[in-house]
């Protein structure tokens, strides 16, 4: 069974039973905006989902479970938006996600795309996410009139090998470059997501891959968000994690990335499931302090924040792993199960 077949077989075990008029979720949070913290409302729409799901999907993405088998029509989508509007207040930033691509007309028809953006034309910024395949000059030229629009794209890695063999992303670096170039020509700001530690990379390889990706994406991006892998349900990453072949990244690794890319003044990170066994973590003792430092740096871009790191004995463990990882365990645990290493070091109890 190849990677694509494995991803699809795991994902197809998930049950999807949702009402097409029901959005997934709405909440309020903060978002960096031109050197400030601004309140943001996040709206997760329920659509039929990413077209790449239907082919196979990405190795770490479990958002399939939030989608609807369909159909989800224009009326359903506008009903979701109208219900969501009742939950949001005066947040200056609106983030609209749909477990796929906002600009895919098969997920969100073009007239609905425009209606949604029009509803929030009075906000400072509206962020929507899409795969690069749906960014064309003619399409994006239509949306240039929305001066508050920011487009987010999950590049994940600038390495075609990682995109293909670790993530199964379904597009290449050159496809991102093409799409990012169009947005740059039209002066539409780009937010780029990069992934810390996709499967089959060592901790050291993951750090270096993210740094190279940030250097590549910095030419096109107003913001680069580092997303450490968290173990989501019904994914290949979860399959590897359950069998002891994957450990989420260390917080020390994220700090290393931020230190080495702070010169760009545009790199942020707001980890999902931080300090949890399924998310980015250290030993548990220092996690919350380090997560606070990462958050403060993400809002301020003050390099001095990253020098105020608490001492912790687990840093030595991380340093030894970075230096000797290939000797500690083989890729598929023949010498030592990857998760057993965490348990034996006392980082988590069974």
Instruction: State the average pLDDT over residues 1-8.
Output: 85
Higher-pLDDT residue of 6 and 231 is 231
pLDDT band at 332 (very low <50, low <70, confident <90, very high): very low
Region 34-61: mean pLDDT is 94
**Number of domains, the chain:** 1
- 341 pLDDT higher than 70: no
Instruction: Tell whether 164 is covered by a domain.
Output: yes
Report pLDDT digits (tens) over 109-164: 999 999 999 999 999 999 999 999 999 999 999 999 999 999 999 999 999 999 99
Model confidence at 199: pLDDT above 90:
yes
Confidence (pLDDT) at 101: 97
pLDDT band for position 249 (50/70/90)?
very high
**343 has a pLDDT exceeding 80:** no
pLDDT number for residue 319: 96
pTM for this structure? 0.92
Q: Which long-range contacts (CB under 8 A, 24 or more apart) does 82-88 make?
A: 83/21, 83/22, 83/23, 84/23, 84/26, 84/43, 84/45, 85/119, 87/26, 87/41, 88/26, 88/28, 88/41, 88/43
Residue 188 resides in a domain:
yes
| Domain assignment of residue 324, given as a range | 3-344
| Average pLDDT value for residue range 186-208 | 97
CATH number at residue 168: 3.20.20.70
| Residue at 350 is within a domain | no
pLDDT at 335: 38
Question: What percent of the chain clears pLDDT 90, i.e. is strictly above it?
Answer: 81
In a domain, 235, yes or no: yes
Looking at residue 329, what is its pLDDT? 44
Reported as a single tens digit per residue, the pLDDT across 272-305 is: 999 999 999 999 999 999 999 999 999 999 999 9
Q: Does residue 349 fall inside a structural domain?
A: no
Residue 325 pLDDT grade (very low, low, confident, very high; cuts 50, 70, 90): confident
Q: 136 in a domain, yes or no?
A: yes
Report pLDDT for 330. Answer: 42
């Amino acid at each position: 069974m190849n990677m694509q077949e494995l991803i699809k077989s795991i994902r197809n075990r998930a049950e999807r039973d949702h009402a097409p008029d029901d959005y997934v979720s709405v909440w309020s949070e903060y978002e960096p905006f031109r050197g400030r913290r601004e309140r943001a409302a996040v709206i997760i729409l329920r659509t039929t989902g990413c077209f790449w799901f239907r082919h196979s999907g990405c190795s770490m993405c479990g958002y399939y479970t939030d989608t609807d088998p369909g159909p989800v029509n224009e009326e359903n989508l506008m009903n979701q938006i109208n219900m969501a509007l009742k939950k949001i207040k005066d947040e200056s930033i609106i983030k609209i996600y749909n477990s796929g691509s906002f600009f895919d007309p098969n997920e969100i028809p073009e007239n609905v795309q425009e209606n949604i953006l029009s509803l929030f034309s009075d906000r400072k910024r509206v962020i929507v996410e899409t795969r690069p395949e749906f960014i064309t000059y003619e399409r994006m030229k239509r949306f240039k009139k929305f001066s508050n629009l920011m487009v987010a794209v999950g590049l994940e890695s600038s390495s075609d090998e990682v995109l293909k063999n670790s993530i199964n992303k379904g597009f290449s670096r050159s496809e991102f470059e093409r799409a990012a170039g169009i947005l740059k020509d039209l002066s539409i700001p780009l937010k780029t997501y990069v992934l810390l530690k996709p499967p089959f990379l060592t901790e050291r390889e993951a750090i270096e891959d993210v740094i190279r990706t940030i250097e590549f994406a910095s030419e096109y991006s107003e913001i680069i968000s580092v997303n450490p892998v968290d173990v989501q349900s019904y994914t290949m990453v979860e399959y590897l994690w359950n069998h002891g072949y994957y450990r989420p990244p260390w917080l020390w690794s994220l700090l290393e990335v931020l230190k080495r890319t702070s010169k760009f003044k545009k790199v942020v990170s707001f980890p999902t499931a931080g300090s949890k066994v399924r998310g980015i973590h250290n030993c548990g003792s220092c996690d919350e302090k380090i997560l606070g430092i990462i958050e403060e740096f993400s809002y301020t871009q003050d390099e001095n924040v990253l020098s105020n790191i608490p001492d912790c004995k687990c840093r030595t463990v991380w340093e030894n792993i970075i230096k000797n990882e290939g000797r500690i365990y083989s890729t598929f645990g023949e010498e030592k199960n990857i998760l057993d290493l965490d348990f034996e070091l006392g980082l988590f109890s069974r």
